[in-house]
Amino acid sequence: MHILLLGAGGQVGQEVNALATRQGHKVTACDRAALDITDPVAVARALEKNQPDVLINAAAYTAVDKAESEPELAARINALAPGLIAERCAHARIPFIHISTDYVFDGTKATAYVESDPVKPLGVYGRTKAAGEAAIRAAMERHIILRTAWVYGAYGNNLLKTMLRLAGERDRLTIVADQRGCPTATQDIAIALLAAAHAAARGDARWGTYHFAGTGDTTWHGFASAIIEAAAPHTGRHPEVAAITTADYPTPARRPQNSVLASDLFERSFGVRAAPWQQRTVEVVSALVAPNASAPDAVRP
């Protein structure tokens, strides 16, 4: 299978590239320097030159707070680009897989969000991602939109790596405890994306929008506490993790109080469910801080 991968420099993109390469697939990996995804001519040329079996778009503007002051840039990357990529893919008859987010919801639902729940984003980031989804649906049928949440892994920047850094610098951390979600490892996202890509390349995929997130849910405070617990045996550091409320930590962008995503539809359609978030957290922390850590951004204790 030949994959044209956009956003290859991000945390999900790097994970997908690594896993696809290990599985023996051909990957044409494009980061922002290699391809301007907001340029329809450049996208068309990339598709014509490479003739991939499937295109995976892992590129996004993900600076949630900064998006509030850069709405035009966020819209170009998150809303305009997915639509024009979908148009080019439709013209070339190439399936399109796109990553979206829990931030398309407002977080007021009492239970886990399912794919049919109406979107109601709270801020610029969520609005632009929802607009990107809509543009894809309008442009082509043969697409898969994968909404995920609370992403972390060995590559790039994420909360887990921030907690490891802060644990080495501070004796007390304050973490929001009234927002719930499903921490999702990039490893699991890569597995899911490649399973969807296989189905898409074969032509037997069930097209549409899916949720895919780590199994189990917690709060940011619970996630941070688990990270510190997993790292302590390797680092000897065990700072206090104090619980605070969203009101105690104001940010430019509002966050959903409930970001829990139900992933049952994806499992039924593609046969993949993410590992429990607690398991993956221990694995990623160990890969980063254990004495024999071999992860790309390993932290030496």
Report the alpha-carbon distance of residue 301 to residue 298 in Å, rounded. Answer: 9
Identity of the residue numbered 60: A
- Looking at residue 274, what DSSP letter applies? P
pLDDT of 139-175, one tens digit each?
A: 999 999 999 999 999 999 999 999 999 999 999 999 9
What domains can you pick out in the chain, each with its CATH number?
2-157+184-215+261-275 (3.40.50.720)
pTM for the full model?
A: 0.94
Looking at residue 104, what is its pLDDT?
Answer: 98
Tokens 């978030």 label which residue? Answer: 277
pLDDT of 28-49, one tens digit each?
A: 999 989 999 999 999 999 999 9
pLDDT of 264-287, one tens digit each?
A: 999 999 999 999 999 999 999 999
Residues ≥6 apart with Cβ < 8 Å to 116: none
Indicate which residues carry an active-site annotation.
125
